[in-house]
Chains A and B, each alone.
Chain A
Amino acid sequence: MSGDILNQYITKIEGHGNLKYSHKSGSVRVEIDEGERLFEKLVIGQSYRDVAFITARICGVCPTSHVFAATLAVENAFEVEVNDAILSLRKALQAAQIVQSHTLHAFFLALPDYLGVSGGLELHDKNPRAFKLASGLKSVADEIIAVIGGRPVHPVSPTIGGFTKVPKDKEIEGLISSVRSGQRLALEALELFAGFRYPYLKRLAEYFSLTKSDVVDIFGDRLISSNGVDISPSDYQYVIKEKVKSYSTAKFATHDNHGMLVGAIARVNMMETTDFMPKTQGALKEFKIKTPLLNTFKNNLAQAIEILNFLEIIEHELTSYLTGRRMRTKVGYTVQAGTGVGAVEAPRGTLYHMYEFDKNGIVTDCDIITPTVQNLTNLEDDASVYLAQNKTVTIPRRERELTMLVRAYDPCITCSVH
């Protein structure tokens, strides 16, 4: 038994957590056991210049998202407006972060369940085609992040007002050709994920996403939901309430006392068919994928849809950067006292950073709400509905599928306990 301590958590998810449930009563608890790092407190007293560097350390899977949420919050507080060139590069970088994270999750963490292998590395021998797709897509995403962001994990070039350094036009042209070959892989990946039989679950949730001009947008200026929420992201605290649970070091968020759903499946469900990029629209038709997706197991399918859609968006943004009017890639700003909110569509959903600064730009207050915190309540609800809808399924299979459900949510526990 001495080895048990070395093996006590759900594998292939980001962070330490477990699902406890009763087959009889159908009650479910998501128990999170990640140590508290207290990021909201450790940035207090730090300079506005350093908050993005520090809060990027919340998560090694999606550090770019935290860099942008923190940077946008500072810009919001100092009333900085960036130009289209900066916005295009930022969008391409953040979209690449989503592709990188989705690829890692969908292929290395979730796919093994559907192919009956123990982990992503085993795919190399047991399903070389899937491994090649995963490896190729991850290379493309890594390349975009390394070229625009400065390195593949924890990007270093994004800064307040723009970028400290931007790639040469030739490098961007190189990225565009990599992105195009990535799209071919993404199309194959989507076909693969469209062909799986997902466990049965049917339940409508309240989906949330940032939008701009009514279309889902990484840096959108409105937060909308399928139940009719339509607010400025700066007002997120009026809509999202966090609760502390005795069995979890992560908080659980709710809206109107019920769960909310953010991330790939929520964004896909908040889009009309015509909102997708052309190749993605074609693929949805060809592979007969119907949205909205009401089975959260299909979040993995939604990730595959987004991998293709975001690769198309990256191509679009990089092309407009190259062909658009040349602009400065860093704009000036003045430090001033104030409060700022930065909201970004991260791989797992909407991420919020809020900072209050004194007149010297020193942080006096901070609040961070991560996508996983927003999803935890809905995960518990989905799990109990799954149990109720699958009473005839054998217990071992139910246990396996519940673990798959947790994985399908792609929880980032390290983010959720920040």
Chain B
Amino acid sequence: MKPRIAIFDLTDCEGCELQFVALREKLLAAGHDFEITNWRLGSDVVSGGPFEVSFIEGSPISESDIEIIKQARKVSKTIVTLGICADLGGVQSMIPEGARKMLLSEVYNKSYKSSSKPPKPVSYYIDVDIHLPGCPVNPDELTRLLSCVFAGKKFIPAYAPVCLDCKAKGNPCLFLDEGFCMGPVTKGGCGAPCPTAGLRCYGCFGPLPDANLTALKNVTERELTDKELENAIRLFFRHSAEYKSYKSKPKGKK
């Protein structure tokens, strides 16, 4: 029997798993060695495990989201988080946790009952073996990851800021030209599509390990208000260790 690769999606936009569809022929080639299963969006084929690799996309919010990942962990050798929602909670974690109940009653109505939880990284609930970041993931990185899996090799994520990808494209620096960009503190591996199209980096690959957010604050003080910078950082970094250590530093201390 072929080893199985499972794909599970939790609460999210499904943009990352669509990158599997974008792989098309490459994915079919993979199908010769592996069986792709439990891909709710792609097929009826289901299995209870065991799985060689389980991809998990989205952030655990609903009760069943959380049950799914706990069960997936039990029957999977390797767990890969696919995209920033599974990795760090995604844009939906911008909602302050304490305000969630009130906001739910505003969006729906006072009698609306929800068993959902505030979005958290998948690693809050279960151990994760590989993190593939991005909003959405870069299909080239996904291909590289799959090649590593098929070859039984260890996957090492890109370890340089977006600036490296951006320089390689020969782009003018938006940080210098427009006064702000998340590129210097954000993990690369995306190929810098946003700055290449003239849009600043929003940080969708999550923070570079040990990114110095205090330094970012110091150099952008004249360009951005505290609130603007806070919004920009929280968008994708909220559940990261880097953000927590940045917030725990006493205010005004450099």
Chain B 29-44 near chain A by CB (<8 Å), digits 1 or 0: 0010000101111111
**Are B45 and A6 within 8 A (Cβ)?**
no
Chain A, interface SS category: loop
User: Does B168 have its Cβ within 8 Å of any Cβ on chain A?
Assistant: no
In the complex, the answer to whether A156 meets B44 with C-beta atoms within 8 Å is no
The reply to whether A153 and B12 contact each other, CB–CB distance below 8 Å, is no
Contacts known (A41-B107, A119-B42, A120-B42); A35 close to B62, Cβ less than 8 A: yes
Contacts of A39 in B (CB 8 A): 92
State which of A54-62, A211-219, A302-310, A334-342 sits at the interface with chain B. A54-62
Contact of A35 among B16, B61, B75, B106 (CB under 8 A): B61
| A57 and B18 contacting across the interface, CB-CB below 8 Å | no
For the complex, is A12 an interface residue (Cβ under 8 Å from B)?
A: yes
Of the candidate stretches A42-50, A170-178, A188-196, the one touching chain B is A42-50
Task: Check A121 against B18 for contact (C-beta < 8 Å).
Answer: no
CB pair B14 A14 closer than 8 Å: yes
B112-A118 in contact (CB<8A): no
Q: Are A150 and B90 interface neighbours, CB within 8 A?
A: no
Contact between B38 and A58 (Cβ–Cβ < 8 Å)? no
**Contact present for B31 and A121 (CB under 8 Å):** yes
Cβ-based interface call for B119 (8 A): yes
Q: Does B170 contact A (CB under 8 A)?
A: no
Q: Whole-angstrom distance between the alpha carbons of A153 and B22 in the complex?
A: 10
Whole-angstrom distance between the Cβ of A225 and the nearest chain B Cβ: 26
- Stretch of A157-165, A317-325, A375-383 lying at the B interface: A157-165
Contact check, A57 vs B13: say whether CB atoms are below 8 A apart.
yes
A398-418 vs B, CB cutoff 8 Å, 1 = contact: the mask equals 000000000000000010000
Contact A5 B197, beta carbon cutoff 8 Å: no
Q: Does B158 touch A at the CB level, under 8 Å?
A: no
Contact: B104 with A156, CB < 8 Å? no
The answer to whether A156 touches B199 (Cβ under 8 A) is: yes
Q: Shortest beta-carbon distance, B76 to chain A, in Å? A: 11
A57 near B109: Cβ-Cβ < 8 Å: no
- Tell me whether B94 and A6 are in contact (CB under 8 A): no
Return chain A residues, CB-CB under 8 Å to B245.
none
**A36 is an interface residue with CB less than 8 A from chain B:** yes
Q: Which residues of A contact B16 (CB under 8 A)?
A: 60
CB distance from A242 to the nearest CB of B (A): 9
Does A8 belong to the interface (CB within 8 Å)? yes
**Of B64-72, B124-132, B246-254, which binds chain A?**
B64-72
The answer to whether B11 and A61 touch across the interface, beta carbons within 8 angstroms, is no
A63 at the interface (CB under 8 A from B): yes
Q: Which of B46-54, B143-151, B206-214, B215-223 contacts A (4 or more CB under 8 A)?
A: B46-54
Judge whether B231 and A119 touch: CB under 8 Å: no
- Determine if B95 is an interface residue (Cβ-Cβ < 8 Å): yes
In this assembly, does B188 line the interface, its C-beta being within 8 Å of a C-beta of chain A? no
Residue A20 lies at the interface, judged by CB distance under 8 Å to chain B: no
Chain A contact patch, size range: 35 or more
Question: For B25, what are the chain A residues with a Cβ–Cβ distance below 8 Å?
Answer: 135
In angstroms, Cα B9 to Cα A11, docked, is: 12
**Contact of A108 with B by CB under 8 A:** yes
Residues of B within 8 A of A349 (CB): none
Q: Which residues of A contact B61 (CB under 8 A)?
A: 35-37
B196 touches A150 (CB 8 A): yes
How far, in whole Å, are A151 and B195 apart by their CA atoms in the complex?
12
Alpha-carbon distance between A7 and B72 when the two chains are bound, in angstroms: 12
A150 to B171, CA, bound (A): 14
Report the separation of the CA atoms of residues A68 and B133 in the bound assembly, to the nearest whole angstrom.
26
Q: What residues on A are CB-neighbors of B227 within 8 Å?
A: 45
Residues on A with C-beta less than 8 A from B38 are 6-7
Q: Mark A136-171, 1 if CB is under 8 A from B, else 0.
A: 001000100000001111101101000011000000
Using an 8 Å CB-CB cutoff, how does the interface string of B7-30 with A read, 1 for contact, 0 for none?
010111111111101101101100
1/0 per residue, CB under 8 A from B, across A1-31: the answer is: 0110111110111111000000000000000
CB contacts under 8 Å to A, within B64-114, are 64-65, 67-68, 71-72, 74-75, 90-92, 94-95, 99-100, 103-104, 106-109, 112-114
Is the Cβ of B42 less than 8 Å from the Cβ of A61? no
Cβ-defined contact, B135 with A251, below 8 A: no
Chain B CB within 8 A of A124 CB: yes
- Complex CA–CA separation, A61 to B72 (angstroms): 25
> In the bound complex, how far is the Cα of B18 from the Cα of A152, in angstroms?
10
Closest-CB distance, A333 to chain B (whole angstroms): 16
Known contacts: A12-B41, A414-B13. The answer to whether A249 contacts B47 by CB under 8 A is no
State whether A121 touches B36 (Cβ < 8 A): yes
Assess whether A358 is interfacial by the CB under 8 Å rule.
no
- Given the interface pairs A104-B21, A251-B108, the reply to whether A35 lies near B11 with Cβ below 8 Å is yes
Looking at B14, B27, B72, B114, the one whose CB has the most chain A CB atoms below 10 A away is B14
Q: A11-B44, A36-B114 are in contact. Are A53 and B15 (CB under 8 A)?
A: no
- Point out the residue from B41, B72, B92, B112 that lies within 8 Å of A6, measured CB to CB: B72
Q: Does residue B136 face the partner (Cβ distance < 8 Å to A)?
A: yes
Q: A5, B11: Cβ atoms under 8 Å?
A: no
With a cutoff of 8 Å between Cβ atoms, the chain A residues found around residue B119 in the complex are 35, 37
Q: Tell yes or no: B194 within 8 A of A by CB.
A: yes
A33 beta carbon closer than 8 Å to chain B:
yes
Is residue B193 within 8 Å, beta carbon to beta carbon, of the partner chain? yes
Q: Does B202 contact A (CB under 8 A)?
A: yes
Closest to B39 in A: A119
Say whether, besides A37-B119, A135-B24, A142-B22, A118 and B15 are in contact (CB < 8 Å).
no
Contact A164 B11 (CB under 8 A): no
Q: Which residues of B contact A104 (CB under 8 A)?
A: 18, 21
Contacts A2-B74, A38-B92, A164-B199 given; 8 further ones with Cβ under 8 A? A5-B68, A6-B47, A11-B44, A37-B119, A38-B95, A45-B227, A112-B44, A154-B135
**Can you list 22 residue pairs at the A/B interface with Cβ under 8 Å?**
A2-B48, A3-B75, A6-B48, A7-B46, A11-B44, A12-B43, A16-B62, A38-B100, A57-B90, A57-B135, A59-B14, A60-B18, A119-B42, A138-B21, A152-B22, A153-B15, A154-B135, A156-B193, A157-B198, A244-B109, A249-B62, A251-B108
Shortest Cβ-Cβ A-B pairs, 9 listed: A60-B15, A3-B48, A119-B43, A35-B61, A35-B11, A164-B198, A150-B197, A60-B13, A37-B92
